[in-house]
Structure 1
């Protein structure tokens, strides 16, 4: 057991959406977008659909009640250096997200809120 705070957490709404997406698509993963086309949004994919490598960091294996396996949350190392002092909170808001992320057809999108660690 560690005293280190969770690096990533989910709101109730995000956990509810992940349960629905898991029932439709199977095991899931997140990769925190670094900008480009989708701003800086957490992108949800079927597990393994987004190729991670040595330039990525696994920040968390999210346990979601009702989901059999943990959901990995990945971010590029360079982006993690900027966000390393924060706790990321995955939330859901109305609106159209990326066509690449699994929630896009649902009329909602995942969004990151953050809190400085230690507050």
Structure 2
């Protein structure tokens, strides 16, 4: 797995998005981090984001420092499509796509992420 982690660390944000979408479809789930208040959020200069990962391993790798009490949680894709996309949109929260350890990554709307998942799932 560390091999994969190292390889993926070299990915561009777009490659990370493609990898995330492919893995989420393959495993039928999206991974988030939670704490006692619920889903962990990130703040960029412009917006609030929910970071998402392709697997428990990647999500848990982020649970360090201030986030060491956080736990990785899987959301099945049906629940994501049915509840999370609309909930994030209603709360004006974006999706931080599989952020790297230095917190870099694409920030897209929940609608865009949903579209990517649904479009690629049909292929």
Where on the TM-score scale, by shorter chain, does this alignment land: which range?
Answer: under 0.3
TM-score by length of 2: 0.26
> Quick check: which one's helix share is greater?
2
> Quick check: which one's strand share is greater?
1
